[in-house]
Chains A and B, each alone.
Chain A
Amino acid sequence: MIAETGLALLWFAAALALLQLFASVMTLVGGQSEAEMGGVVRPAAIMQGPLVALSFLMLMWLFIRTDLSVLLVASNSHSAKPFIFKLAGTWGNHEGSMLLWVTVMALSGSFVALVERRLPERTMIATLAAQAFVSLGFYAFLLFSSNPFERLPTPVPEGNGLNPLLQDIGLAFHPPTLYIGYVGLSVAFSFAVGALLTREVGPAFARAMRPWVLGSWIFLTIGITAGSYWAYYELGWGGWWFWDPVENASLMPWLAATALLHSASVLASRDALRTWTIMLGVIAFSMSMVGTFLVRSGILTSVHAFAVDPERGSFILALLAIYIGGALALFGARASTVNEGKQFSLVSREAGLVVNNVALSAILGIVLLGTLYPLLTEAFDTKVSVGPPYFNPVGAFFAIPMIVVMAVGPLLRWRRDSFDRIAKALILPAVLTAAVIVGAVVLAPGIRVLPLLGLALSIGLGIASLLPLLGRNLLRTPLATWGMVVGHFGLAVALFGMASESAFSTEKLVAADIGDTVEVGPWTIELAGIEPVAGPNWTAIEANMIARYEGGDPVSLHPQSRNFTQPPMTTSESALSTRWNGQLYAVVGEEGLDGRWQLRLWWKPFVPLIWIGGLIVALGGALALIGRLLGDMRKAHQVRRIAERREERPMGGAMPEPAE
């Protein structure tokens, strides 16, 4: 019964989405008054959220009970699985993850309909129409091609298990994080389409959209950071970014969202970059759809195992064509009628943000081209793969100028400024950057160009990013400004970690007998023993290593090579020892014929800064989001007070906002 109820709830929600679309279209073009049909739109949107959420809870319940009469549970779960992975099994598969997507989408739709009152009602209805249109596609996808509640003709006595690579706490929460990010961008997309439909592209639109972009950007940042860390310790290859299609699929929406975030802030505070912001709103959501499509259709070969299905790929592609093709056609038809907004000078904060946007778009284009290139050549019967030798230098070509602008831009004033005014403040970071370059070339002569520039620029950016706080009362500095400073500083931290990892890592690969010692960097590691161990649904051989940093206190490390039985598979579990100045990374391989064990060891100075930096970036986003939301609430309160005072002339929520 539970499965059937879940399915029924989904159908009901889909019907409501249809009603929402119909009512809003009637209001927009059918000449129905907003009071007649428009009154239906918001309630229809609001009700979908709880319905779909309930349906998701039903599926979760089926997984917790391991109901093996349901196909999805039977193929992805197992009664012997730990509880948390039974739970994570709900979304650790295609159907469940699409249901999660739709759940988050419906909840966001409810939230928008419930809370957003600043936009003109007509624009709001257009936005909810776009939202309903997008939701309908996903409901159709779920109901017609990925029904998570499908029953088996006869129940099986035992389930198939969850892909052991996915039986990892980090990965269990990784896809949902990214999905929330993707869905946030779909809301931004709806706002952009709504604004375009009613030609209301202005600061009010940017302010309504911004929290959604900011929120989804935070989740994407966390998702990418976590995904990178997962790949780092789970794959056992010592690398943290492989430019794999699955990784690029999450990076591309992030790049677009970052650009959108910055252009939306120009639009919100200065009413410039109107068409460009709309364009980015469309592109950001396109990138999350393209990413999902690339991952799910299996059209590109990836190192991350995912069950793929070309039929579903076609479905996502069809959705992509309708939404993105439609939105871009609308953009072409309407954009020339959108006024370009306010002017600004070549040396101004706006101009800095334009440079940032152009650089981010260029990097986005480079990543997209590199990801799709194998597909392009395959059309001509040549198979290629594209990896770091392409992405690193070509991407850096645009990333480096962008980092320089990141250091300078926040110091500039809106509208018009001059370099003379800020030159003094920039002396310190510029001198330090030069000093790091000279120092690194002298002390580490073999250093390659990219890590060298990365190290130097990270120091320069790290200092420059803090300069906007200079001479301010820190307590009275707006949270949004704090967010910017913290976000930029986080990027500098991450950049330092990346450059340091790439410049100073040392690696040792040996076959060792028990009792042997291996040296890697400042560490001395002794292989003390090899023991078999068993977990709930796996067995493993575990190495016991005793590591000493420069002859100091011993640290023990236990890397494993795990064998799963359901389904049969082996994974290697790396062992890490973290110090303030880096990480020791150990992997144990197979036993050779001569009884020696393969060990692979890395010393990676400052590598954790990559992920710490990523989290700092996300924290910056969170500060900015909180700052914006508090500001919005305060403003809404004022508006209400003013409206109460002047009851004869109600305000539409369009309060003049001082430039930030």
Chain B
Amino acid sequence: MSTALKPKHQRLVLVILALVVLIGAALLAIWGLRGQASYFYVPSDIASDPPEPGRAVRLGGMVQEGSIQTLADGVTVSFVVGDGEATVPVRYTGITPDLFVEGSGVVADGRLAADGTFVADSLLAKHDENYMPRELEDMSEAQAKAVVAETTAK
């Protein structure tokens, strides 16, 4: 196709093409990340500045005592996630993860429905036997602050 070009120029074309593609990849990646990354929320964030319904986000917090309920279909659970300041009702259809119990930390991937319920696609109830995930470490700090606020108010 371009046999008329000198070999040296042909290589220059290749180098330029490669650079264009790589820069294009970087731009595409940045654009994709801005649009597709899901932000991490704790319940008080959702209370103060909720994400738009339908946008994929992550919710982290503690499963509130006495809030886990299994619905009639036997596979949907509803529970409440709190961080000491605010709470968010969550609904999840699926088999709950192994460490998912009341009072445990949980990270839910999903989206906020129009009625204010968080619909989770997946649940992660993870804690290493020695250390908790960093997202929850932060959360417990937020919770700790809330507890401090309560104790010092007295």
A contact set with B: CB distance below 8 Å: 163, 236-237, 298, 301, 303, 305-308, 340, 343-347, 351, 354, 358-359, 361-363, 365-366, 369-370, 373-374, 377, 382-387, 389-390, 393-394, 397-398, 416, 418-419, 509-512, 567, 569-572, 587, 589-590, 592-594, 596, 598, 600
Bound-state CA distance A587–B75 (Å) is: 13
Tell me the interface secondary structure of chain A in the complex: mixed
Which residues from chain A contact B128 at a C-beta distance below 8 Å?
A: 305-308
Additional A-B contacts beyond A362-B21, A418-B1, A600-B95 (8; CB < 8 A): A346-B14, A369-B26, A382-B40, A385-B38, A394-B32, A569-B129, A587-B95, A589-B75
User: Which residue, of A385, A386, A397, A416, has the highest number of chain B Cβ atoms within 10 A?
Assistant: A385
Bound CA span A411–B112, Å: 52
B32 touches A393 (CB 8 A): yes
B53 at the interface (CB under 8 A from A): no
Chain B interface, DSSP helix/strand/loop, else mixed? mixed
CB–CB A354/B18 < 8 A: yes
Contact A343 B11 (CB under 8 A): yes
Known: A373-B37, A386-B33. A362 touches B25 (CB 8 A): yes
Q: Closest CB-CB distance, A557 to chain B, in whole Å?
A: 16
Q: Are B28 and A397 in contact (CB under 8 A)?
A: yes
List of B residues within 8 angstroms of A587 by Cβ = 95
Return the CB mask of B83-126 against A: 1 if under 8 Å, else 0.
Answer: 00000000001111011000000000100000000000010101
Give which listed residue, B18, B39, B73, contacts A511 with CB less than 8 A: B73
Q: Using Cβ atoms and an 8 Å threshold, which residues of chain B touch A571? A: 98
Contact of A346 among B10, B18, B38, B58 (CB under 8 A): B10
- Cα A306 to Cα B94 in complex, Å, equals 25
Residues on B with C-beta less than 8 A from A386 are 33, 36-38
Q: 7 closest pairs, A vs B, by CB? A: A511-B74, A383-B40, A589-B95, A362-B25, A570-B98, A390-B36, A343-B7
Bound-state Cα–Cα, A382 to B129, Å? 27
Q: Are B22 and A354 in contact (CB under 8 A)?
A: no
**Residues in B neighbouring A365, C-beta threshold 8 A:** 22, 25-26, 29
Within 8 A of A (CB), among B7-65: 7-8, 10-11, 13-14, 17-18, 21-22, 24-26, 28-30, 32-33, 35-40, 56, 58
Which chain A residue has the least Cβ–Cβ distance from B14?
A: A354
Complex contacts, A370 vs chain B, CB 8 Å: 29, 32-33
In the assembled complex, how far is the CB of residue B145 from the closest CB belonging to chain A, in whole angstroms? Answer: 15
With A and B bound together, what is the CA distance between A143 and B24 in angstroms?
44
Q: Tell me which residues across on chain B come within 8 A of A374, comparing CB atoms.
A: 37
Contact A589 B135, CB 8 Å, known A369-B33, A511-B73: no
A237 to B124, CA, bound (A): 11
Distance from A97 Cβ to chain B, minimum over Cβ atoms (Å): 16
The size bracket of the interface on B is: 35 or more
In the complex, residue of chain B having the shortest beta-carbon distance to the beta carbon of A591: B74
**B11 and A510: CB pair below 8 A?**
no
Confirm or deny: B154 has a beta carbon within 8 angstroms of a beta carbon on chain A.
no
B123–chain A nearest beta-carbon distance, Å = 10
Residue pairs across A and B with Cβ atoms less than 8 A apart, 18 shown, are A298-B134, A307-B130, A344-B10, A345-B7, A346-B2, A346-B14, A358-B21, A370-B32, A383-B39, A383-B58, A384-B39, A385-B40, A394-B28, A419-B1, A510-B73, A569-B98, A589-B75, A589-B96
Min CB distance, A338 to chain B, in Å? 15
Closest to A561 in B: B98
| Cβ contact within 8 Å between A343 and B8 | yes
* B29 lies within 8 A of A345 (CB): no
Report chain A residues within 8 Å CB of B98. Answer: 569-572
Roughly how many angstroms separate A288 CA and B116 CA in the complex, as a whole number? 43
**Which residue among B28, B32, B94, B135 has the maximum number of chain A CB atoms within 10 Å of its CB?**
B32
A511 adjacent to B11 (CB under 8 Å): no
Taking the nearest CB of chain B, how far is it from the CB of A596, in angstroms? Answer: 5
**B135 to A383, Cβ gap below 8 A?**
yes
